[in-house]
Amino acid sequence: MAEKLYLGLDIGGTAIKAGICDGEGRLLHAVEGPTEGGEGAERILQNAARCARRCVEESQYGWDRIAAVGAGVPGFLDAVRGIVKFSPNLPLAGFPLRDRLAEALGKPVAVGNDANAAALGEAWSGAGRGVASCVLYTLGTGVGGGIVVNGQLIEGFTGMGGELGHMKVVPDLEAIQCGCGQKGCLETVSSATGIVRMARGAVERGDRTSLALVENLTAKDVFDAAKAGDEAARRIIERAALYLGKSMALVAVIVNPELFIIGGGLSQAGEFLIEQVREAFRKCALERAQEGVGIVAAALGNNAGVVGAAGLARRLAS
Amino acid sequence: MAEKLYLGLDIGGTAIKAGICDGEGRLLHAVEGPTEGGEGAERILQNAARCARRCVEESQYGWDRIAAVGAGVPGFLDAVRGIVKFSPNLPLAGFPLRDRLAEALGKPVAVGNDANAAALGEAWSGAGRGVASCVLYTLGTGVGGGIVVNGQLIEGFTGMGGELGHMKVVPDLEAIQCGCGQKGCLETVSSATGIVRMARGAVERGDRTSLALVENLTAKDVFDAAKAGDEAARRIIERAALYLGKSMALVAVIVNPELFIIGGGLSQAGEFLIEQVREAFRKCALERAQEGVGIVAAALGNNAGVVGAAGLARRLAS
């Protein structure tokens, strides 16, 4: 019998990616289509199903080879009932995504949070391959995360497992309000949004910095300036790295993973960022909890979500 | 065939407890003997084996009913090789406890950290029975912990999973040195030692408190004074509860357990302490991560360790 294959769907704010993986998490074929979230939940469903079918049709594999389908979605899910509880960017609240996708595609379907799916992808066939436990930080507009221990996602009682961006790690005196309503969350500092906010603050304060000349500041501008030796930019990146390291020191005495993986847009800064995070972690973490623990860049890039979604499918069908 | 039974050994600083559990985690029979740790590792081994044999002999069950043996030990273990790496109170560093116990008793043996074993015990047949995921805080001389998700302990890469006492949660300005070498660890505030230290500080500062009249202050004295309305004592307990709640707010966005369980000596303060911890958790935790999450007292008391050790054995034999 031919090896079972798994189809992953990464349903994002603007695009849907569909991909076929083998049992080792190798991405064999992938296609992309639009989400059209503004057109409502039914349109998202249609587009996801269309993207999934097209992926298989354009590949060299038949539908009968697909054992199950997995879908990763931004937001909170009721994984047991397969219903989206809340999605910040898509009109999917209350939508029974799992059952409707299963009906549309005629396959068993698993659904999960997109950051958790990405962690599962990295653990399965990315930077965490062969590692017993790993924690993914996704540094983008916000800070997402996912935790995999012995191949199992720690999704949590209400789906809040691995919500690392909402660890309160910034001291009260320096803490600012987070979108979640709390103050001092990691993502107020260590996300692209946080870095841009700190850079604007430096410019407004009149700090001597080349960033004052940049229009429409982005996190990449701040990284570029820091790499070029701009002192104010350097301090901002150092601060983003410091709180990442502090949060990892906490995770290290709770989950004590073998590996921390840094993904998302900011991870494109590469070793420049990661070396500073390692330094902060070394200073802040209990010695025994950092012994042999690595901090590395994600390996799957934008494919982590679709591979992990296929990983969700594999859990169903194996 | 008769139901399989499991023998647990809780090897403590002064006493060893042995107990027989059934497959539901019910403690059927238990005995205690001395550890005699001062006499070296071989003596500890002999005493543990003797205690185990005596437990079975004095029970109504035969050795043939015991499917496997588990042992919980204070300290850090190499769970894969079954070797004690470090124990704060017992001369067991480097001792191959698993293999030597298996040789002495003629049964398969599993070993684990005592706080993790206690968490497994509470999850199996104590306060966490029937709950998908729970986190135990053991409040005694220090603060220990253990995390159980879907019946599995999160032991961690180097055995540091659930070392909740070493979460740095106290802000730098108020932080004092912990025995681990770090500053600001939870256990500097929320352990018996921490509470007594804060009480001594209040007396030395000349705060108006009934504690000034107490010789050889204990944490129980501080709880009693707080319950009786002593303002200084009340503030100390409030602070211990606050940092417990803050640490739980962090655990809630990492592991997002269904239940927090408070055990150890300090849990004898009961609802007086736990209600304050709930209050702090409610204030500090992200709303979605506290939905439906409980904070309750441990149910197995001093038997959590021996029941959990039997639970370690069950993992081997099932």
User: Model confidence at B131, in pLDDT bands (50, 70, 90)?
Assistant: very high
Instruction: Average the pLDDT over A142-166 and give the result.
Output: 94
State how far the Cα of B217 lies from the Cα of B198, in Å rounded to an integer. 11
Which of B152, B162, B256 is closest, CB to CB, to A158? B256
Please list every residue in chain A whose beta carbon sits closer than 8 Å to the beta carbon of residue B287.
181
Residue of B nearest to A167 (CA): B250
Q: To the nearest whole angstrom, how far is the Cα of B71 from the nearest Cα of chain A? A: 22
Q: To the nearest whole angstrom, how far is the Cα of B317 from the nearest Cα of chain A? A: 19
Over residues A164-210, the pLDDT tens digits come to 999 999 998 899 999 888 999 999 999 999 999 999 999 999 999 99
Output B307 or A86, whichever has higher pLDDT. Answer: B307
Domain B130-299 has CATH 3.40.50.300: no
Residues of chain A whose C-beta is under 8 A from some C-beta in B?
A: 76, 132-133, 147, 149-150, 152, 154-164, 166-168, 171-172, 180-182, 246, 249-258, 284, 286-289, 291-293
Name the DSSP class of A106: T
- Do the chains contact at A292 and B150, CB–CB below 8 Å? no
Please list every residue in chain B whose beta carbon sits closer than 8 Å to the beta carbon of residue A153.
none
What average pLDDT is seen over chain B? Answer: 95
| Structure confidence at residue B312 (pLDDT) | 96
Assigned CATH for A130-298? 3.30.420.40
Examine the pLDDT at A269 and tell me if it is beyond 70. Answer: yes
Coil, helix or strand for B101?
helix
Residue A84 CB partners (closer than 8 Å, separation 6+)? A73, A75, A76, A77, A78, A90, A92, A93, A94, A95, A97, A111
Residues of chain B whose C-beta is under 8 A from some C-beta in A?
A: 76, 132-133, 147, 149-150, 152, 154-164, 166-168, 171-172, 180-182, 246, 249-258, 284, 286-289, 291-293
Residues A305 and A121 sit within 8 Å (Cβ to Cβ): yes
According to CATH, where is 3.30.420.40 located in chain B?
A: 5-121+302-317, 130-299
Does ipTM exceed 0.90?
A: yes
Write down the H helix ranges in chain A.
Answer: 41-57, 97-105, 114-125, 192-205, 219-227, 231-252, 271-284, 287-290, 304-317
Best of B247, B255, B283, B293 to mutate (most A CBs within 10 Å, chain A): B255
Residue of A nearest to B132 (CA): A157
Which of B152, B157, B255 is closest, CB to CB, to A156? B255
Q: How far is CA B278 from the centre of its chain?
A: 20
- Do the chains contact at A163 and B251, CB–CB below 8 Å? no
- Do the chains contact at B256 and A163, CB–CB below 8 Å? yes
| Structure confidence at residue A68 (pLDDT) | 98
Please list every residue in chain B whose beta carbon sits closer than 8 Å to the beta carbon of residue A167.
250, 253-254
Examine the pLDDT at A1 and tell me if it is beyond 70. Answer: no
Assigned CATH for B5-121+302-317? 3.30.420.40
Over residues A38-56, the pLDDT tens digits come to 999 999 999 999 999 999 9
User: Inter-axis angle of helices B231-252 and B271-284, to 10 degrees?
Assistant: 50
Best of B134, B154, B253 to mutate (most A CBs within 10 Å, chain A): B253
Pairing of strands B5-11, A152-153: unpaired
Instruction: Average the pLDDT over B4-15 and give the result.
Output: 95
| Structure confidence at residue B77 (pLDDT) | 87
Please list every residue in chain B whose beta carbon sits closer than 8 Å to the beta carbon of residue A161.
254-256
Instruction: Average the pLDDT over B239-260 and give the result.
Output: 98
| Structure confidence at residue A2 (pLDDT) | 81
Amino acid at A305: G
Which of A162, A182, A286 is closest, CB to CB, to B182? A286
Over residues B56-97, the pLDDT tens digits come to 999 999 999 999 999 999 988 887 899 999 888 899 999 999
What average pLDDT is seen over chain A? Answer: 95
Sheet holding A5-11, edge to edge: A27-34, A15-21, A5-11, A66-73, A109-113
- Do the chains contact at A287 and B171, CB–CB below 8 Å? no
Instruction: Average the pLDDT over A99-105 and give the result.
Output: 98
User: Model confidence at A127, in pLDDT bands (50, 70, 90)?
Assistant: very high
| Structure confidence at residue B179 (pLDDT) | 87
Residue of A nearest to B286 (CA): A182
- CB atoms closer than 10 angstroms to residue B231: 14
Instruction: Average the pLDDT over B248-274 and give the result.
Output: 96
Instruction: Average the pLDDT over B91-104 and give the result.
Output: 97
Examine the pLDDT at A160 and tell me if it is beyond 70. Answer: yes
According to CATH, where is 3.30.420.40 located in chain A?
A: 5-121+302-317, 130-298
- Do the chains contact at B154 and A158, CB–CB below 8 Å? no
User: Model confidence at A30, in pLDDT bands (50, 70, 90)?
Assistant: very high
Q: To the nearest whole angstrom, how far is the Cα of B69 from the nearest Cα of chain A? A: 24
Residues A192 and A140 sit within 8 Å (Cβ to Cβ): yes
Instruction: Average the pLDDT over A21-43 and give the result.
Output: 96
B308, two tokens? 């959990």
| Structure confidence at residue B1 (pLDDT) | 64
Residues B306 and B18 sit within 8 Å (Cβ to Cβ): yes
Best of B186, B256, B261, B287 to mutate (most A CBs within 10 Å, chain A): B256
Please list every residue in chain B whose beta carbon sits closer than 8 Å to the beta carbon of residue A164.
253-254
- Do the chains contact at A160 and B286, CB–CB below 8 Å? yes
Name the DSSP class of B104: H
Residue of A nearest to B158 (CA): A289
Least confident of A86-90, A224-228, A287-291, B272-276: A86-90
Please list every residue in chain B whose beta carbon sits closer than 8 Å to the beta carbon of residue A284.
168
State how far the Cα of B310 lies from the Cα of B308, in Å rounded to an integer. 5
Which of B157, B167, B252 is closest, CB to CB, to A258? B157
Examine the pLDDT at A252 and tell me if it is beyond 70. Answer: yes
Portion of chain A with pLDDT greater than 70, in percent: 99
Over residues B140-181, the pLDDT tens digits come to 999 999 999 999 999 999 889 999 999 999 998 899 999 888
Which of A161, A289, A293 is closest, CB to CB, to B256? A161
Instruction: Average the pLDDT over B277-302 and give the result.
Output: 96
